[in-house]
Amino acid sequence: MYFKSKLAKVQSFETLIQSGRYYVDKTMFIRELLDEHPFVTMIHRPSNFGKSLTLDMLRCFFSPTEDPHLFDDLAISQETALCQKYKNQYPVLHLDLSALGNVPCSEAMRCLAGQISSLAFRYESLCQSGKLPLPDNRILQTYMALADPRTWPVHSEDLDVLLEFAPHTMCRILHWYYGKDVIVLIDGYDVPLRKAGSDRMRNVLEGMLHNLLQTNRFLQFAVITGCVNLTRDPVFERINCLYAWDAADNFAADSFGFTEQEISELLRFYRLSEAMDTVRGRYHGHRFGGEPLSCPWDILSYIDHCLIDNTTEPLRPPAEDGSHPLLRALLQEGGSSALTLLEGGTIQKPLTALTCRNLDQPEGRIWSLLVAEGYLTVAGIAETTEEDEEEEAAYLACADGNLYELAIPTGQVREWFEEVLQNSKTAGDLPA
């Protein structure tokens, strides 16, 4: 079986399993989720840590419309009682909001309408069953047609209301048809809220999330993923029973990212065991409340590089236009802290509360953003002294009351720090 680079981007669990490709088994996250079972679970990890694939795995497990044999050879299949109770037993609404950021409002509306259309098409069989009441049948067909802008309401206000209430209305219809509450999965929730190009788009999203997560009496539970923790944003402060798991929490600590044992098995499978030291030194070290982890994208890209170029030398990643704006901001705002990090030390900082309104106010918030983007990792919770608490009081007032030990996670990120430092010196932004 040849590993193809495009598989590093596969977000379809069904495609991955049915194609017989190598899958690092994360299905026991289902057990952990059901044991913990907050009504609304919010999980934050940096980009490329497997959030999208994991949510699609949940959809395939719970949805009654998916192949029941996808999990036959995976760890969760050993949980016989759990599988009998939950597998293919609950209707699921799965929204991916990550495509709605950094685009004009009209394009974002088109993307959101396409998402609603795709959701409705997943349950097209309900319209063909003859069991659905005629008004609900027409509603689903209206949603399916949303992929074509020519079917939209004439007035933009009417389209906004239609999109805002569509997911909640679908929950009601699915509850009526299946006789069970609906599981809601939302991927990339923070992207459109952080980067919405207009108040119109933000208002639609806020209304949709409120209807889905706060006033939805047809909700079994919800799982929401993103990079930046926006739980202090007004839209989420109004949602009861929401629990946000972040970088220092033990919940799902190894469900997103590859552990050293998983990497070792993966390298052995591809006959690359001799590359383990390179992986440890360059890619391993992210922490989310548990043991060190590697970013799946980095590991899969490195293995592909080894197989194609017949080498175990480190992969030189794209320069990401060479800017790394967060690292540049760190050097300008906290140069001494950056030097401590580059020397292999840790710094003590609060992870401050974020809202969409304060993301463009970098003072004190850069540490939270650096952790959210994977440039820094939480090495532990620091023991604070009175002096620390006085110094950080302004930030701690809007954080969770802790000071965190922050460190550079991997050798690759350390290289990025060094490159940005050197580029800044060359450009005259920093003293040589």
CATH classification at residue 73: 3.40.50
Count structural domains, the chain: 3
Residue 431 is assigned to a structural domain of this protein:
no
Q: What percent of the chain is predicted at pLDDT more than 70?
A: 86
pLDDT tens column, 55-96 = 999 999 999 999 999 999 999 999 999 999 999 999 999 999
Report d(CA 240, CA 40) in Å as an integer: 8
Distance CA 408, CA 142 (A): 50
Give yes or no: residues 130 and 67 share one domain.
yes
Kindly report the average pLDDT of the chain as a whole number.
85
Which has more confidence, 179 or 355? 179
Does 182 lie in the same domain as 39? Answer: yes
Domain of 295, in residue numbers = 260-309
Record the tokens describing residue 81, joined without a space: 């009682």
Which among 141, 113, 112, 115 is positioned nearest to 126, based on CA atoms? 141
Report the predicted TM-score, pTM, of the whole model to 2 decimal places.
0.90
Radius of gyration of the chain (CA): 23
In the chain, the N- to C-terminal Cα span, in Å, equals 50
Distance CA 158, CA 387 (A): 56
- Say if 32 falls within a structural domain: yes
Please tell me whether residues 130 and 279 are part of one structural domain. Answer: no
* Residue 409 within any structural domain of the chain: yes
Whether 117 and 201 map to the same domain: the answer is: yes
Which residues partner with 40 through β-bridges? 222, 242
> Could you tell me if residue 315 is inside a domain?
no
For 4, the token pair is 């193809």
Both 302 and 154 in a single domain?
A: no
Out of 270, 286, 309, pick the residue that ends a domain.
309
Residues 221, 226, 230, 234: what is their CA dihedral angle, to the nearest 10 degrees? -50
Residues 274 and 395 placed together within one structural domain of the fold: no
Domain membership flag for residue 153:
yes
Identify the residue with better confidence: 390 or 34. Answer: 34
> How does residue 310 score in pLDDT terms, banded at 50, 70 and 90?
confident
| pLDDT tens digits, one per residue of 394-408 | 454 445 667 889 999
Shared-domain flag, residues 89 and 197: yes
Indicate if 267 and 295 belong to the same structural domain: yes
Which of 199, 222, 245 represents a domain boundary (last residue)?
Answer: 245
- Binning pLDDT at 50, 70 and 90, where does residue 431 land? low
> Same domain for 21 and 101?
yes
Instruction: Classify residue 252: in a domain, yes or no.
Output: no
What HEC string does the chain produce?
Answer: CCCCHHHHHCCCHHHHHHCCCCCCCCCCHHHHHHHHCCCEEEEECCCCCCHHHHHHHHHHHHCCCCCCCCCCCCHHHHCHHHHHHHCCCCCEEEEECHHHCCCCHHHHHHHHHHHHHHHHHHCHHHHHCCCCCHHHHHHHHHHHHHHCHHHCCCCHHHHHHHHHHHHHHHHHHHHHHHCCCEEEEEECCHHHHHHCCCHHHHHHHHHHHHHHHCCCCCEEEEEEEECCCCCCCHHHHCCCCEEEECCCCCCCCCCCCECHHHHHHHHHHCCCHHHHHHHHHHHEEECCCCCCEECHHHHHHHHHHHHHHCCCCCCCCCCHHHCCHHHHHHHHHCHHHHHHHHCCCCEEECCCCCCCCCCCCCCCCHHHHHHHCCCCEEEEEECCCHHHHHHCHHHHCCCCCCEEEEECCCHHHHHHHHHHHHHHHHHCCCCC
Mean pLDDT across 296-312: 89
Tens digit of each residue's pLDDT (9 = 90 or more) over 8-39: 457 899 999 988 888 999 999 999 999 987 78
Residue 255 lies in a domain: no
- The reply to whether 232 and 277 lie within a common domain is no
CA distance 186 to 56: 10
pLDDT band at 365 (very low <50, low <70, confident <90, very high): confident
Average pLDDT, stretch 105-133? Answer: 92
Segment 251-266 shows an average pLDDT of 92
Q: What is the mean pLDDT of residues 169-185?
A: 97
* Residues 86 and 210 placed together within one structural domain of the fold: yes
Boundary residue ending a domain (245, 271, 289): 245
Is there a domain that residue 166 lies in? Answer: yes
Contact between 320 and 413 under an 8 Å Cβ cutoff? The reply is no
